[in-house]
Amino acid sequence: MNTALSADPSETPCEPQAAAGTAQAPGRSAEQRAAHETNKLSKRLHRQVGAAITDYNMIEQGDKVMVCLSGGKDSYGLLDILLSLRQRAPIDFSIVAVNLDQKQPGFPDHILPAYLKGLGVDFHIENQDTYSIVKRLIPEGKTMCSLCSRLRRGILYRVADELGANKIALGHHRDDFLGTIFLNMFFGGKLKGMPPKLVSDDGRHTVIRPLAYVAETDLERWAEHRQFPIIPCSLCGSQENLQRVQIKNMLREWDRKHPGRIDNMHRAFSQVVPSHLMDRQLFPFETIVPTGLADPAGDKAFDEDEDETCATPTPAPLGEVAVPMEFVRRPRD
Binding annotation for [4Fe-4S] cluster: 145, 148, 236
Residues written for the chain: 333
Q: Is 190 helix (H, G, I), strand (E, B) or coil?
A: coil
Answer whether 144's CB lies under 8 Å from 181's CB: no
Instruction: Kindly tell me the burial class for residue 77, based on how many C-beta atoms sit within 10 Å of its own C-beta (0-12, 13-18, 19 or more).
Output: buried
Q: Which among 40, 121, 36 has a CA at the least distance from the CA of 84?
A: 121
Nearest residue to 67 (alpha-carbon basis) of 7, 1, 134, 112? 112
Binding residue ranges:
145, 148, 236
Rounded to whole angstroms, how far apart are CA atoms 13 and 176?
22
120 dihedral zone (left: phi>0; alpha: psi -120 to 50; beta): left
Indicate the helix (H) or strand (E) that contains 122.
strand 122-127
Q: Residue 56 to residues 42, 84, 120, 191, 209: CA-CA distances in angstroms?
A: 21, 19, 28, 21, 10
Whole-angstrom distance between the N-terminal and C-terminal Cα of the chain?
A: 23
3-class state of residue 99 by DSSP: strand
- Judge contact between 223 and 73, C-beta under 8 A: yes
For residues 190 and 181, what is the distance between their CA atoms, to the nearest angstrom?
8
Instruction: Kindly report each contact of residues 102-108 with a partner whose C-beta sits within 8 Å and lies 24 or more positions away, as own/partner.
Output: 102/128, 102/129, 102/130, 102/131, 102/148, 102/152, 103/127, 103/128, 103/129, 103/130, 103/131, 103/132, 104/131, 104/235, 104/236, 105/131, 105/235, 106/235, 107/231, 107/235, 108/231
